[in-house]
Structure 1
Amino acid sequence: MKLDRYRKYVRAGVTAFLVLAASMIFYYLLFHQTSVRTAFHNVLNILSPLIAALILAYVISPIINFIEQRIIARLFARHRKTQSVRCKKLVRALLILLTYVAMLFALYGLIATLIPELFSSIANIVSNFSNYANNIQDFATKVLANYPEMQQTADQYISTFSAKLSNWLTNDLMPMLRTFLLNLSGQLVNMVTFFKNILLGAIVAIYMLYNKESYIAKLKKAVYALLGLDHGNAVIRDCQYVNQEFSGFLVGKVIDSIIIGAICYLVTSLIGTPYALLVSVIIGVTNIIPFFGPFLGAVPCLLLILLIDPLQALYFLIFVVLLQQFDGNFLGPKILGETTGVSSFLIIISILIGGGFWGVFGMIIAVPVCAIICTVCRNFANRRLEKHHLPDDDAFYFHMDHIDPETRQAIPYQKKKIDEAEVFHFPGYRLRKALTKLTTEESPVDAPYTPAKPSTEEKNSNSSDSDQK
């Protein structure tokens, strides 16, 4: 009983302590940003192997799950055999090893193919730039043969632009590449640290993938121990939804980009596009970025092909437009499905904000993050509408002027002039209005005293009492 008596004081003391602690932390973060930023970078450097392991395990886990559930489990079911625990562990270890080997071979093949192609392409452009400029000028001359004035203007612009670009390629770009290669040797310590973190992350990721069910079970147990049954179920369900949004979008986008890159390489090789492999890799990699990715990849590729063969550049432009229409209207929806459920307008806004804060990485994760935020806001709004006994269907609010407070029905929109005295009444307006009305009205205490006149019934009762007396 004594504890119950002092419990409210203990809560008040703990609340005051937490408020003071939060105020001190906020003050320190506000006026010591440099030291906080330095400490954050130090902690991030220390945790870099663990972060790399989490990212690598999160990327590889869907591949292992797919092979285990869709291939190996079906093979055992077809032969009517059951997997023992030892067999499952052995299969998991082999799958992790094979996945690592496949990723290393794919990375090596991509680098070994792309880097020499890139440097040879730049060297060919620099050495043959004058021929490319003449090709563009000849193409413009043929197209504008019937318009002498436009042809003369185009020749002047092409000559000026080609001279400036040739000067930049010779005097700026090639020295920049040489300086970059020299700086790579100077950044040897940073490169060793980076590869050390990647190697440690890959080793830690093996343990995470091998015992992922055990680690997930321990995390769930800790959540239920700290939050209880109801809140624990809510947190686990929210985490599952976040994982569904991120894994579904990222895995689907990677598969979509691989297919688009393969189609691009096949078609560009058939139509004779210069540097077909380099162009296809650029188109496939940039396709991971939603909405803006195809444009970011197509523009430099188009300029590169334009320098070599303007007619091939036209063919490539037509092909890229058709390819992106095929991806946006058929292939992308088939692979991604309704993974995000976010409108095109919100996708554009989220990509712009994510790219502004975190660059390319922010543009990639912007769509699933936006989907999660939209879900949170939509569920909160639906709960508030349910509390006020209002429908959450968007069609109810179309072409609506206002809602009748008595019938809760939508009143159709009517064009009318609104009085300025009826608008911008904020939540505290009614309370202030009621208080003002109470203070301005004359209270019964302040009013002068006037004796009330007795009614006829009271007079009759008083006279009868006097007669009895």
Structure 2
Amino acid sequence: MRTTGLWSERFKLLLFNNKFISFLFILLLVGLNILVLTKIKFIFTPLLVLVKTVLLPIILTGVLYYLLNPIVDFLQARKVRRVYSILVLYILIIAILALAIGTVIPLIKEQVIGLVQNIPAYSETLNLQLERWFGSNLFNQLRNTVDLNTDDLMTTISSRLTTMLNHTWSSLSGFLGILTETILAIATVPLILFYLLIDGRLLPPYILSFLPIAMRNTTYRVMEEMSHQISSYIRGQIIVSFCIGFLLFIGYNVIGLEYSLVLAVIAACTSIVPYLGPVIAITPALIVASVTSPVMLLKMVVIWTLVQITEGKFISPQIMGKSLHIHPVTIIFVILTAGNLFGLVGIILAVPGYAVLKVVASHLFRWFKKSSGLYEVAKPE
């Protein structure tokens, strides 16, 4: 009996005093909770609907908040009341939007319509250019090898577009529903943004008031780091994208490339996605330059290379700096993964989302190292 009691006591000591076994036991409990939650996920349907409803306004409001809040803080430091600063910013934004709608938008619309109408002609011209550069025999062999037929490709695209148009009428109600939700979401953004700019500083203390006192300092540091990561990325990436679009617009006009405004706007919009955006943006510019002339193609490549060098060596280091501390390869994998999981929204939010998760994970790992005792430094003998 004494031996049995001794072994029982040793088993209890091994099970409850071993930190690694305790950690495995906690992981098991977490896994069981996740399994149970997946079986009763229908309970969270109203919560998911709520999240989907408020997600777009929150994203838009957050982006505008991080762009405008530094300006409001700057004006407040100059003894200007926050309400007046916000009203002045709203008036300026309305004026800029009115100017863009009256001048820039018609030019973009005209160039977009011209570019779409010239797509068939560009396709035929591109075929002739490739035959002229590589020789008709070599080009035909290459086209036959990859089973590429431009006429069939255009016919397929036309049939697909016709099918999509036919299905559009059947899904018109769904489209109108999505359009209505989007319009309502955008309409609520100015109101939410107004109150957030006024009382945004009171939000962190309000959230911290629900937490135990011992956790408030650490949680505040985590929230502060998350806010810094998001604000640095949003402001920096938008400024960098604007600079790229502006430089390309000037460069395209200097070399006389057609549809320079549309191509520059496409480059500015796609540059919001790091590394992969410029690869997507250069494609339409390459097509337009290729069908124009080989000299124009060379000029376009030179302009694009100069802009990318300027952005990589001077603009991004000054604006973005090294605030995110994320390796480029990691960013590419994160964007690809988020795109497969969440589509276009995932691609846009991949980098700031990863930066936030990185902050949370790093603080959790520090807490685990400190509390688990598994990373204790061995004392010198």
Q: TM-score, normalised by structure 1?
A: 0.62
Which residue does the alignment assign to 1:438? none
Pair 1:42 & 2:49 matched: yes
User: Which one of the candidate residues 58, 62, 84 is aligned to 1:54?
Assistant: 58
Specify the code of the residue in structure 1 equivalent to 2:329.
F
Aligned equivalents of 2:290, 2:168: Cα separation in 1: 28
User: Which one of the candidate residues 137, 143, 153 is aligned to 1:152?
Assistant: 137
Aligned-residue offset at 1:300: 3.8
Which residue does the alignment assign to 1:457? none
Pair 1:95 & 2:89 matched: yes
Specify the code of the residue in structure 2 equivalent to 1:286.
T
Give the alignment of 1:190-229 within 5 angstroms: 190-213=178-201, 215-216=202-203, 219-224=204-209, 226-228=211-213
Which residue does the alignment assign to 1:30? 38
User: Which one of the candidate residues 333, 340, 345 is aligned to 2:317?
Assistant: 333
Which residue does the alignment assign to 1:67? 71
Q: Deviation per CA, 1:74-96: give whole Å up to 9, x if none.
A: 7x5xxxxx55xxx4433332323
Which residue does the alignment assign to 1:456? none
Q: Deviation per CA, 1:302-351: give whole Å up to 9, x if none.
A: 23432443442333234323322332232111110121012223222322
Aligned-residue offset at 1:237: 1.7
Aligned equivalents of 1:110, 1:357: Cα separation in 2: 35
User: Which one of the candidate residues 305, 310, 315 is aligned to 2:299?
Assistant: 315
Structure 1 or 2: more helix by fraction: 2
RMSD: 3.8
Which residue does the alignment assign to 1:122? 116
Pair 1:288 & 2:296 matched: no
Aligned equivalents of 1:183, 1:307: Cα separation in 2: 38
Q: Which runs of no fewer than 5 residues in structure 1 stay unpaired?
A: 1-21, 77-81, 145-149, 391-404, 409-469
> Are the counterparts in 1 of residues 108 and 262 from structure 2 also a CA contact under 8 Å?
yes
Larger Cα Rg: Structure 1 or Structure 2?
A: 1
Pair 1:254 & 2:265 matched: no
Aligned equivalents of 1:126, 1:359: Cα separation in 2: 29
Aligned equivalents of 1:108, 1:52: Cα separation in 2: 27
Aligned equivalents of 1:311, 1:178: Cα separation in 2: 39
Aligned equivalents of 2:151, 2:94: Cα separation in 1: 48
Deviates further, 97-106 or 292-301: 97-106
Q: Deviation per CA, 1:14-48: give whole Å up to 9, x if none.
A: xxxxxxxx999866643455x45754553335x43
> Are the counterparts in 2 of residues 114 and 278 from structure 1 also a CA contact under 8 Å?
yes
> Are the counterparts in 2 of residues 290 and 364 from structure 1 also a CA contact under 8 Å?
no
> Are the counterparts in 2 of residues 252 and 336 from structure 1 also a CA contact under 8 Å?
yes
User: Which one of the candidate residues 115, 127, 131 is aligned to 1:133?
Assistant: 127
> Are the counterparts in 2 of residues 64 and 96 from structure 1 also a CA contact under 8 Å?
no
Aligned-residue offset at 1:64: 3.2
Percent of residue pairs identical: 18
Aligned equivalents of 2:370, 2:49: Cα separation in 1: 46
Q: How many residues align?
A: 346
Matched residue SS, 1:337 = coil
> Are the counterparts in 2 of residues 265 and 280 from structure 1 also a CA contact under 8 Å?
yes
Specify the code of the residue in structure 2 equivalent to 1:66.
P
Aligned equivalents of 1:315, 1:136: Cα separation in 2: 18
Aligned equivalents of 2:284, 2:277: Cα separation in 1: 12
